[in-house]
């Protein structure tokens, strides 16, 4: 199983990509859908919100009045933290339950609007960003969603910038054309990158660097940073350092383990995380478009 993070700014067209991936067999986990589910009428989540913010956040039918809640928390950090303390654990638990239910050979696509803002990109095997020019996004938001221009621009400004998104992206799907063109590009990405990656991870097979696969990378200069962050996410406290040993088309990185037990834990985590074992203490990327060689060693002394 691999996990694919899917995101993009408001109005970028992420839903078209999610639909295309689903049609090709993706196991979709929609963060917005989960966020709605955990506060449905009669849910424990909604009861906790009422306890925290009062019955004024309920509509006449007993459901959550989202605009009323947003008005309470939008510009108040303390109130927003109170909201997150209620909803985040519930969303996390539901997400984990869905992940646990995924088939062993699944390509799990997690549609997360704030993936970049929440700094969660390193926890995915692959990150897909859907992008579009700001003026085009404003046009879509004002014509298709009924927002006024000021509101549309404010919502765009409150999210990550395109530079921040490109820095964590393994693939960038441009949506400045038609929905059909975007769907076609998403289908190619599925066939050319995601299916081979899932097979390689499941089989524990390293991938040979492939120029066509590497060409999907929108920010080659950030590759070493993405690899470093991915390794930290996989190794956690078992590592004391993650270092870039050599740069180039196939960068070499070194993970310094805390002790022998940590080496064992890291060695177990790397293959499932996208780095296949090639020899004792040596690993290689299972992604032909994100090549790397990884060495694991115990901290000296």
Give the helix/strand (H/E) hosting 211: helix 211-214
Tokens of 248: 């180039």
> Is 15 annotated to bind ligand?
yes
Domains defined for the chain, CATH in brackets:
2-202 (3.40.50.300), 222-298 (3.30.460.10)
> Is 14 annotated to bind ligand?
yes
Cβ neighbors of 46 (< 8 A, separation 6 or more) are 39, 40, 63, 64
> Is 177 annotated to bind ligand?
no
Residue 53 CB neighbour total at 10 angstroms: 18
Q: Please list the alpha-helical segments (H only) found in 54-115.
A: 66-73, 77-100
Taking Cα atoms as reference points, which of 58, 66, 57, 60 lies closest to residue 35?
66
Query: pTM of the predicted model, to two decimals?
Result: 0.93
pLDDT by 10s per residue, the chain, length 301: 999 999 999 999 999 999 999 999 999 999 999 999 999 999 999 999 999 999 999 999 999 999 899 888 877 889 889 999 999 999 999 999 999 999 999 999 999 999 999 999 999 999 999 999 999 999 999 998 888 899 899 889 989 999 999 999 999 999 999 999 999 999 999 999 999 999 999 999 999 999 999 999 999 999 999 999 999 999 999 999 999 999 988 999 999 999 999 999 999 999 999 999 999 999 999 999 999 999 999 976 5
> Is 71 annotated to bind ligand?
no
pLDDT for position 71: 83
Taking Cα atoms as reference points, which of 251, 256, 216 lies closest to residue 237?
256
Q: Is 173 helix (H, G, I), strand (E, B) or coil?
A: strand
Cβ neighbors of 197 (< 8 A, separation 6 or more) are 2, 125, 126, 207, 274, 286, 287, 288
pLDDT for position 301: 56
pLDDT for position 31: 95
pLDDT for position 73: 84
Contact criterion met (CB below 8 Å) for 90 and 45? yes
């Amino acid at each position: 199983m691999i996990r694919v993070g899917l995101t993009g700014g408001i109005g970028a067209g992420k839903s078209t990509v999610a639909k295309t991936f689903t049609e090709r067999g993706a196991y979709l986990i929609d963060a917005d859908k989960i966020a709605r589910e955990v506060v449905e009428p009669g849910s424990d989540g909604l009861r906790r919100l009422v306890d925290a913010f009062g019955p004024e956040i309920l509509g006449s039918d007993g459901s959550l009045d989202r605009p009323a809640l947003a008005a309470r928390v939008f510009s108040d950090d303390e109130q927003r933290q109170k909201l997150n303390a209620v909803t985040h654990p519930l969303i996390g638990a539901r997400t984990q339950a869905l992940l646990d239910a995924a088939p062993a050979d699944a390509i799990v696509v997690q549609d997360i609007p704030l993936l970049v803002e929440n700094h969660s990109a390193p926890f995915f095997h692959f990150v897909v960003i859907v992008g579009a020019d700001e003026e085009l996004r404003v046009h879509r938001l004002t014509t298709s969603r009924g927002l006024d221009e000021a509101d549309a621009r404010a919502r765009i400004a409150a999210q990550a910038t395109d530079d921040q998104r490109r820095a964590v992206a393994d693939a960038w799907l441009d949506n400045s054309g038609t929905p059909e063109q975007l769907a076609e590009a998403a289908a190619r990405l599925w066939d050319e990158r995601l299916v081979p990656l899932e097979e390689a991870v499941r089989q524990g097979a390293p991938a040979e660097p492939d120029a066509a696969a590497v060409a999907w990378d929108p920010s080659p200069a950030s590759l070493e940073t993405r690899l470093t962050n991915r390794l930290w996410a996989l190794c956690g406290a078992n590592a004391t350092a993650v270092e870039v040993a050599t740069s180039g088309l196939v960068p070499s990185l070194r993970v310094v383990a805390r002790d022998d037990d940590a080496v064992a834990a890291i060695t177990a985590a790397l293959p499932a995380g996208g780095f296949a074992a090639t020899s004792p203490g040596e690993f290689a990327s299972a992604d032909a478009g994100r090549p790397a060689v990884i060495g694991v060693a115990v901290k000296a002394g």
